[in-house]
Structure 1
Amino acid sequence: MMKRTVFVTGASQGVGEAVARRFAADGQANIVVVARDAARLSRVADQLTEMGSSALSIQADLADVAECRRAVKEAEAKFGSIDVLCNCAGLTARGDIFNTTPETFDRLFAVNVRGSFFVIQEALPAMIAAGRGGVIVNISSMLSYGGPSFLLPYSATKAALNIITKNVANTVRFQRIRVHAINLGWTDTPAEHETQTRLHGLPENWAQVEGAKQPFGRLLESDDPAALCAFLASKDASMMTGCIIDQEQWVAGTLS
């Protein structure tokens, strides 16, 4: 199996960290992890190295387009063109039509939409020039279908990300670069734990309590989208592109 270079944003914890670990476990040689928290990121990179991968950690704030471009260039300088790009970075700040501030709106779109957009834009030329094809996976959300009132701008960012996914997939299909998005359902991550306990006042065992109410008996965990990313990047998914996949146990558009 050819050893590929995998680039993962939001990799200091949660879904991004799980995605990086999954690719390392699958034997990918070069893994680039990108996030704002340098200390957490360094820890993840060290653990990927222990798993046998060559890991590069890049501290970057993806709300800044220059930082997006720098991160990709650093990765390419170290390993050459990127083969698999997973955009896992994202913010979930609250806000509805009445109380969302311009600052919250702009920050959400800067990270969730603009950051992913310009990381892809920067990575594509070398990916195309390498002639090996490639895979891009964007972590989106079931809330792209609408979402609760208090997550309006967040939901809008994910809807925008899905449109970008479709458009880019169509643009680079003849270069054999496959582009997908995962509409992720409710997932137990460190960030979600902090939100539920500190913002919503739920107990420490909230994930177990809420998970028991779900059709499959638990919330999603970070390893679930990590496994799906690995599948989408594999030969088994080689005849798929432009897919927006609902990774969720509730069926969108239906009534119970």
Structure 2
Amino acid sequence: MRALMQDRVVLVTGGTQGLGLAIAQAAAREGASGVAIVGRNAEKAERAAEGIRASGRDADVTTEVLPIVADLGVDGEAERAVAETIARFGRVDSLVNAAGATSRGTLLDTTRELLTEHLTLNITVPFMTMQGAVADMRRRGAPGTILNIITMSMHGGQPYLAPYVASKAGLAGLTKNAAFAHRFDRIRINGLNIGWTATPGEAVTQQTFHGADDGWLAEASAAQPMGKLGQPDEIADAVVFLLSERSGVVTGSIIDWDQNVPGAYE
């Protein structure tokens, strides 16, 4: 059977750690010939690149990895990431927007600066990477796929996630708008609403904003219906499926990927 990402070039923002790295590794295992990852730390990017290459080798795939060091919050860096990917590989077949801001703020205590940070990283950056990727796909007359990592919190979320919810709900709308606009270009654009996920970044968030101790993950996992938080490798498999031809004609879908059901009550 043909590998899901065979010979694809994939760009993953936030691909140097956590969920983004898991997605990049899954793409390599599924046959991607080129993977570009974007992160702020050069040393971390190089370590991630080697892990992605190893994932490909484990599946008898030779994957060329391009680590791009960029602060996506700076004007022009998102566009540069797409341009460098095209310069290296000649194209972008699939794009994953996994980078984003997750810091806390309520409606009453969120500053304009914090709101701007969330809007920049969670809407503006995906907008600009999608713009560059879609322009490349249309220039080549080639089909392509895009997957935006959104969040279950876009349905409303907790009070302390006001700027996060506002920006991610906007990304959901952008996803649908772009999918509709480019459906006849055969460019499929979808979003994945992920729930609470066990990543190193989430551990930092819990400790920084919620005073969590070292046992927070076991306690949180025990309270979930499935006895665990979302796992990056499982989410990565879902992302790769949605990027691949195996997901058929699906576009403009915002899929809830979680163990809790919005709108349902005890």
TM-score by length of 2: 0.93
1:106 aligns with 2:110: no
Matched, 1:150 2:154: no
Structure 2 Cα separation of the partners of residues 91 and 42 of structure 1: 22
1:20 aligns with 2:63: no
1:102-141 Cα offsets, whole Å, 9 max, x none, are 1111111111110111111111111122233010000000
Q: Is the 8 A contact 1:30 1:54 kept in 2?
A: yes
1:173 paired with 2:183, answer yes
Helix, strand or coil for the counterpart of 2:255?
Answer: strand
In the alignment, structure 2 segments of 5+ residues that lack a partner are 57-61
Distance in 1 (CA, whole Å) between partners of 2:114 and 2:48 is 29
In the other structure, the counterpart of 2:59 is: none
Please give the alpha-carbon distance, in whole angstroms, between the structure 2 residues aligned to 1:71 and 1:239: 28
Matches within 5 A, 1:1-256: 1=2, 2-50=6-54, 51=56, 52-256=62-266
1: CA distance, partners of 2:107 / 2:209: 19
Q: Alignment identity in percent?
A: 39
TM-fit CA distance, 1:19 = 0.3
Report the secondary structure of 1:216's partner residue: coil
Q: CA deviation at 1:251?
A: 0.5
Structure 2 SS opposite 1:31: strand
Give CA deviations for 1:211-245 in whole Å, capped at 9, x if unaligned: 11111111001112211111101222121000000
1:19 touches 1:229 (CA, 8 Å); kept in 2? yes
State the 1:20 CA deviation: 0.3
What is the CA RMSD across the aligned residues, in angstroms? 1.1
Residue range with higher mean Cα deviation, 147-156 or 189-198: 189-198
Structure 1: gaps (5+ residues): none
* Paired positions, count: 256
CA distance in 2, matches of 1:58, 1:105: 26
Aligned equivalents of 2:136, 2:203: Cα separation in 1: 38
So what's the TM-score if we normalise by structure 1? 0.97
Distance 2:107 2:51 in 1: 42
Secondary structure of 1:214's aligned partner: coil
Residues of 2 paired with 1:137 and 1:64: CA distance?
22
